[in-house]
Structure 1
Amino acid sequence: MNVTETLSQGLKREFQVVLNAADLKSRLDGELQNLQGKARINGFRPGKVPVGHLRRLYGRSVMADVVQNAVNEANQKIVADKGLKLALEPQVRFPEDQASIEAAMEAKGDLAFTVALEVLPQIEIADLSDVSLVKPVAEVPDADIDASLERMAGQNRNFSAKAEGAAAEKGDRLMISFVGTLEGKPFDGGTGSGIPLELGSGQFIPGFEEQLEGAKAGEKRTVKVSFPENYGAAHLAGKPAEFEVTVDEVQAPGELKIDDELAKGFGMESLDALRTAVREQLGRELAAQSRRKVKKSLLDALDGKYSFELPPSLVEQEFSAVWSQVEADMKNAGKTFADEDTTEDEARAEYRKIAERRVRLGLVLAEIGEQAKVQIADDEVTQALIERARQFPGQEKEVWEFYRKNPQALAEIRAPIFEEKVVDHLLGQVKIEDKTVSREELYADEDAETEEKAKPAKAKKAKKAAAADDASA
């Protein structure tokens, strides 16, 4: 096997690989001899099938295996000899001349092919001793604990039927049946029976619950609403619908009790124990948000420290994933780029920058983690896999088996664990100052981003870009 480098430009490499006919014939003969000892063909004793006969029967398929093995061997040799780190799998190109391919498959001519590679850039780890970060820290307000307990009590309180002829009020629960139509025709998911609906809960689409206030048991009403523009089902988004609703029963809520009995319903010994558990849970949520904020600041600092050529294919791969999501979101919302006060070209340029940042930071974190010898224990992966399986009730076993049998999918489980460990490693190298803030301040950027969704695109571009690349690797 003769390997010659034909291109070295930036992160791109190309190699010409040639296997001469004699080498091909030797490899083919070796494979056929191995097959001879295993072949079972009528008319021949086991292990006594002539090699020539095997060549006539299986020569072409065996040669295909020989070629594939040669390609794999060439790829491994190139990577090992040149000490390369690949960005993506090698791309192999065979000659377009069919005659030369046929000659090689018969071991009567040389086989020449090209291996094209994209390699990872050399990254020199930057000094972070001058990086100072502010970590916002919030305490759990007693009001938040009280609000959580009220929600829990509300979810567990009893309802009882109101007196005959009593009208439904906000806070009451209705048992309803309905048939929904679009332009007079029923649609999938638009029919329900024995459905509980608490008035004022916002459980149904806007305008639905309000039209049932004042209804009585046994009453039928026609509810006219329009599905939101951003409704999850694209075929319903923004469309007007009518629901023929039958109120089967009107129920009044029982007393809202926040006491030891409520706590026992959640497996706690007392209300004090439940309050402590709620405080701890809310504390974990605040700590997670604080972590996200300081991580975002760290990634911003890293982004300012590194500038290097990016593998084009990795950028294109990341951009394609981002852009597909953008297009899906716009389709679901029934929007165009003109509606967003921008153009497709401007949007593409914006999101390509986001993709480039993600790739750059992903490569930086990977290099830092490798040099720091960051390791992921098997039990960490197992725990993450258990958590993923729990997201699919009733399908836990199938999810578990899927990941265990699919190395690429399992790598998606390992990646965020690795990233968080690298972030921990980096946070230990920079100066961090805790700053006490309110809960509202801690979530301020996210709340502002939610409000920005209603504004024209040009007014929110900066925030959109900052939010979209928060998870960078």
Structure 2
Amino acid sequence: MQVTETLNEGLKRGYAITVTAADLDAKVEEKLKEAQPTVEMKGFRKGKVPMALLRKQFGQRVMGEAMQEAIDGAMSKHLEESGDRPAAQPEMKMADPDWKEGDDVKVEVSYEKLPEIADTDFSAIKLERMVVKADEDSVKEALDNLAASPQAVTYEPKKTQAKKDDQVVLDFVGKVDGVAFEGGAAEDYPLVIGSNSFIPGFEDGLLKVKAGEEKDIEVTFPEDYQAENLAGKKAVFTCTIKEVKAPKAPALDDELAKKFGAEDLAGLKAQITERLEAEYTGASRAVAKRALLDALDAAVSFELPESLVTAEANQIAHQLWHEENPDVQGHDHPAIEATDEHKKLAERRVKLGLLLADIGQKAEVKVTDQEMTQAIMNQARQYPGQERQFFEFVQQNAQFRQQLQAPMFEDKVVDHIFEKAAVTDKEVSKDDLQAAVEKLEEE
């Protein structure tokens, strides 16, 4: 067996692998001898089938297996000796498409290897991390929002006409073409005007009603209504108004706190403060992470595998095209060409992806089984009642597990770099942090 280099240009590598006919025949003979003791054939006892007959019966199939094993073995040995790590699956093709048994096997192999990346001096990276404290005004604003939420608001009877945000308690019967339909009637139903919980037009029809009134409200069901027998049809709801109630915001006291699981108002304020500062910390980390990636992009340079950049640019172009054309769900559309802007973004993504992977490998950063399990459980909560099916899907889908693991690994590598970089905390206002986050979203 012989491996000869045919290309060495940047990260691109090419090799010619030759397996002689004699070596291949010897490997076929070896595999047939290994199988001979277990082979049964009419007219022969088990294990006594002549080699010539075995070769005639199974030679072609064994030849293919032997050829593949020989080439794979040569490739594995080469990668081990050279230290090359292919950026993608190496391309292999037969040099002689007219090959026949008895000829030497010649295979052409090509790939791009991953670049060697020099160690980065993280201490030379200087970053500012924004720190925001939850002030009294922010806590008060959050408390007011809780007090105005449906969970906290109570309603008191009023004698005046109903308006937006009032609650109307009513009986109603809906009819299409004069015939009542299933699910179209209720008694003592509490409906908040403006909640958009009924079909369009119904709640508007309750504006200015008063307790004791009866009113017919005409509406048209949406064309995409879930009940097909009602979709697009006109209906009349005969409504009897029992009560009209005005919303009453609760007092900011211990009773309100208990509605949200706290022992008292002080405890609720402490929970809100903790939650707000956790949100600020998350936003601050996102800003600092972008600054870190920008610094790494500027400080580190190495050759990028062209195949990875091209694939990433095409993916970016394809994704952005679909975002601009949301009506096209499938992939039956014209070819999408990556622009220079797409390629520039792809170069950054590939560069930082390879760099973070290299840093993580050298620092022996790992995503633990416990962390993966927690991430899977968090995802499973999004499918109530189908958790078991979700877990089975995850177990059978290695690509999905990788998609879960990748951002976790990246965050752990970023935290590793933060620990080594020169990071200075700077206390700022909530508005300053918000402006920094909005700037990220614009880029």
Give matches, 1:415-426, under 5 Å: 415-426=406-417
Q: Which residue does the alignment assign to 1:156?
A: 151
1:75-154 pair list within 5 angstroms: 75-95=75-95, 97=97, 99-100=98-99, 103=100, 106=101, 108-153=102-147, 154=149
Corresponding residue for residue 179 of structure 2: none
Partner of 1:319: 313
In structure 2, the residue matched to 1:394 is 385
- 3-state SS in 1 of match to 2:420: coil
1:34 and 1:384 mapped to 2: Cα distance?
Answer: 47
Q: Distance in 2 between matches of 1:273 and 1:446?
A: 30
Task: Could you tell me which runs of 5 or more consecutive residues in structure 2 were left unpaired when the two chains were aligned.
Answer: 176-182, 225-230, 329-335
Q: 1:267 to 1:225 in 2, by over 3 A?
A: same
1:96–1:243: structure 2 CA closer, same or farther, 3 Å change rule? farther
Indicate the SS of the match to 2:339. Answer: helix
The alignment partner of 1:428 has SS state of helix
SS of equivalent to 1:85: coil
* Matched position secondary structure for 1:418: helix
Question: Does residue 378 of structure 1 match 2:375?
Answer: no
Give structure 1 stretches of 5+ with no counterpart: 180-190, 228-240, 335-343, 451-462, 467-473
Q: Comparing 392-401 with 436-445, which one deviates more in the overlay? A: 392-401
Aligned 8 A contact 2:156 2:247 in 1:
no
Aligned counterpart in structure 2 of residue 220 of structure 1, from 214, 217, 220: 217
> Contact between 1:178 and 1:245, CA under 8 Å: does it hold in 2?
yes
Partner of 2:25: 25
The aligned amino acid for 1:80 is E
- Asked whether 1:256 is paired with 2:253, we answer no
- Give the drift of 1:85: 2.0
TM-score, with structure 2 as normaliser:
0.78
Q: Residue 123 of structure 2: SS of its match in structure 1?
A: coil
State how far apart, in whole Å, the 2-side matches of 1:290 and 1:91 are: 44
Asked if 1:364 is matched to 2:358, the reply is no
Structure 1 residue 364: deviation in Å? 1.4
**C-alpha contact 2:202 2:219 (8 A) present in aligned 1:** no
- Give the partner amino acid of 1:376: V
Distance 2:43 2:169 in 1: 81
1:120-141 superposed Cα distances (whole Å, 9 cap, x missing partner): 1121123343432111111224
Contact 2:132 2:429 in 1 (8 A): yes
- Contact between 1:170 and 1:213, CA under 8 Å: does it hold in 2? no
Q: Deviations over 1:134-171 (max 9, x none)?
A: 11111224344344444445232477798999645235
Contact 1:157–1:254 under 8 Å retained in 2: no
Residue of 260, 266, 272 corresponding to 2:266: 272
- 1:306 maps to 300
Counterpart check, 1:169 vs 2:160: no
Say if 1:13 and 1:429 are closer, same or farther in 2 by CA, change over 3 A.
Answer: same
Check conservation: 1:174, 1:199, Cα contact below 8 A.
Answer: no
292 and 415 in structure 1: CA distance in 2 versus 1, 3 angstrom threshold: same
Q: CA RMSD in A?
A: 4.0
Distance, in Å, in 2 between the alignment partners of 1:415 and 1:163 is 57
* Matched-pair contact (CA < 8 Å) for 1:32–1:55: yes
Give yes or no for the alignment of 1:404 onto 2:395: yes
Deviations 1:293-331 (A, max 9, x none): 111111111111122221111112222222221011100
- Judged with a 3 Å threshold, the aligned counterparts in structure 2 of structure 1 residues 318 and 164 are, in CA distance, closer, same or farther, namely farther
Size of the aligned set, in residue pairs, is: 411
CA contact (8 A) 1:263 1:270 kept: yes
Equivalent of 2:421 in 405, 430, 440? 430
Q: How does 1:337-352 map to 2 (within 5 A)?
A: 348-352=339-343
TM-score by length of 1: 0.73
User: CA contact under 8 A between 2:131 and 2:426: conserved in structure 1?
Assistant: yes
- Aligned residue number for residue 15 of structure 1: 15
CA contact (8 A) 2:309 2:347 kept: yes
